[in-house]
Each structure stands twice: as structure tokens, then as C-alpha cells.
Amino acid sequence: MDQPDLDRQSVAPGRHIGQWLLMAAFVVITIIFVMPLVLMIFSAFKPSAEILRVPPTFFPQAPTLDNFRTVLNEAPYGSWYRNSLVVACAVTALSLFTSSVGGYIFAKFEFPLKQPLFVLILITLMIPFPVLLIPNYLIANRLGLLNSLWALVLPGMVSAFGIFLMRQFAAGIPRDLIEAARLDGASEWSIFARIMLPLMRPALAALGVFTFLASWNDYLWPLVAINDLDKSTLPLALTFFNTLHAQRFDLVMAAATMAVVPVLIVFLIFQRHIVKALVLAGMR
């Protein structure tokens, strides 16, 4: 499938007034649209007296870092961050590996039961996660995974969507390369590692970004699988912090800012990849 070029210019230059009106409209809409995020960041810098003022202030009158300090001192914010990073990195690395191996095998090999197995994997794409919440909880319990980060990593190790995406991508890679390597006497695993993996890099980058974000932001499964505060991931910890300080919006917004803003910055840096990944994911 052709990748649409998202930055293509589709209007001939020359219709200046219309363009400027459209631009102005978009500037206004965009400002309104990002306002909640701006307010979150501004509120995080307001002292507790200012945050409750009616009517509320827009810019912080006396900006302070106290809220961030309190959050970091009062809550194990560092270990929440570490847990989130460990889980998201492990899930991303493992599922990229299994997806590329699985996708390559389904694209380039003939073996018994190939079609039924592939269809079986695709069918799981149609079943939403919340439906499987209870059985997954019971299975994690039986395997002794509950209340450990393993419970968050192991179920994320394989991804039907990832295998599907990588199969589509691997199918477009010429067979000759693989055959040539075989004639040279390369082992099957080294063909995968030395030839296929580098060629699949664009799709891997897209899938990696997608998987990382999904794992980083996941809430429902960690909520069920994790009990201890020191094993929490960020989203879980944020709600805990919120119930602890329901009316301290200065603290809650500081905690939210620390959780959300790094992701936004990473997005802005890698936005080309991410946008491509999500279009790729959406256009399946």
C-alpha cells in the first residue's frame, strides 16, 4: 500500500485571502484545543493559596517549584517512573522481537497449519482487552505473577497486531535475499537477525513507538494486577496521589505535569515516526 504523504501541499498557491482566513481559524482552534494542557502546566507552578482563588488566575502570579518538591518528597515518584520505564521498555523490546519473528515466519515460510494458525491469531485482534480482564487476572494469579511487574510484562510479550503488521511488511521483502544467504550457508536465525531485522527497521520503529505509548499509558490491567504502591506504574500512582490529595489541585497538577510532559516532549521530537506509526496502525 502506498503511504500517503501527510505533508503534501494540495492547494495551488494564489488563493491568499482564503488561505489566511483558514490559517487564522486554525490558530484560534489550536490555541483553544491545547488550553487544558497549558492550564495543567501553569497550575503546577501556582502556590496552594492561588490555586483555590475564585476566579482562578491564568498565569501563575508567584511561580514556585514547591509543588514539584512536595510531590517528589512525599511520594515514591522516582520508583513509579522507574517501574513505568522498565515495563514499557521490556514490553516494547519483547513484543518487537516476537512480532518480527512471527511476522517473518508467516510471510516467508510454508509449514503445516500455517493458515489456520494465522487466522487464530488474527481473531484475537477482535476481542477487546476488558473482556479478558477476569480470566487474565485468574491466570496471572495461578502463575503467581500478581503484584509484580512480571504481570505487566508477560501478557504484553506477544501482540497479534504486531505480528500482522510485521507480516505485511516482511511480505514485501524479496525472497532472493533470503535464498542467497541460504546458499552462502547462513543459518536461519542469522538470516533473520542479519538480513530481515535491518530491512524491517521502519516498521519496527513504528510498532515500537505504538507499543511503548500503549504500555506507558495502560491503566486497567495494572489496576487489577498491582497492589503495592512501590510496584505501581505512573497512571496507577497518579490516581492514588489524586485520592490522597483530592482538593490539592496544585499538587495533583504538578504530579500530572511530571507524568505527561515528558511524553509530550518525546512525541514532539519523534512526531514523524509516531504519526506514521499511528496511520500505519489505523490503516490496517
Partner 1 sequence: MAVSTLLVPAKPRVARRPRPPGHASQMAFVASGLIPILAMFAVFAFAPVGIVLWLSLHKYNQLAPTAPFIGLRNFEFAFYTDPYFINALTVTLKYALVAVPLNLLFALPIAIGLNQVTRLRAVFRSAFFLPTVASAVGVSLIWRYLYEPQAGALNALLAIAGLPQPSWLADPTTALWAILVTAVWQDLGYNILILLAGLQTIPDDFYDAAKVDGAGPWPRFVGITMPLLSRTLLFVSVLTMISYLQQFTYVQVMPREPGDPIHSTETMVLYIYTKAFSNMQLGYASAISVVLMAIILAITLVQFRLLRSRWEY
Q: Which of residues 260-279 bind partner 1 (CB under 8 A)?
A: 260, 263-264, 267-268, 271, 274-275, 278-279
Alpha-carbon gap, residue 198 to 168, rounded angstroms: 16
Closer by beta carbon to partner 1, 142 or else 198? 142
Report the residue from 5, 17, 115, 228 that binds partner 1 according to the rule CB under 8 A. 5
Q: 130: Cβ–Cβ under 8 A, 6 or more apart, which residues?
A: 220
* Contact string (CB under 8 A) for partner 1, positions 111-140, x = contact: x-----x--xx--x-xxxxxxxxxxxxxx-
Asked if 252 is part of the footprint of partner 1 (rule: CB under 8 A), the reply reads: yes
Q: 170: Cβ–Cβ under 8 A, 6 or more apart, which residues?
A: 100, 103, 104, 106, 107, 108, 196, 200
Asked if 234 is part of the footprint of partner 1 (rule: CB under 8 A), the reply reads: yes
Q: Are 251 and 67 in contact (CB under 8 A)?
A: yes
DSSP secondary-structure letter at 158?
-
Binding span for partner 1 by CB under 8 A among 59-67, 74-82, 104-112, 197-205: 104-112
To partner 1, the closest distance from the beta carbon of 146 in angstroms equals 12
To partner 1, the closest distance from the beta carbon of 101 in angstroms equals 4
Asked if 102 is part of the footprint of partner 1 (rule: CB under 8 A), the reply reads: yes
Site for partner 1 in 36-75 (CB under 8 A): 36-37, 39-40, 43, 51-56
To partner 1, the closest distance from the beta carbon of 73 in angstroms equals 20
Asked if 163 is part of the footprint of partner 1 (rule: CB under 8 A), the reply reads: yes
**Nearest residue to 165 via CA among 55, 243, 279:** 279
Q: What is the C-alpha end-to-end distance of the chain, expressed in Å?
A: 10
CA quadruple 195, 198, 202, 208: dihedral, nearest 10: 110
Q: Are 125 and 162 in contact (CB under 8 A)?
A: no
Asked if 157 is part of the footprint of partner 1 (rule: CB under 8 A), the reply reads: yes
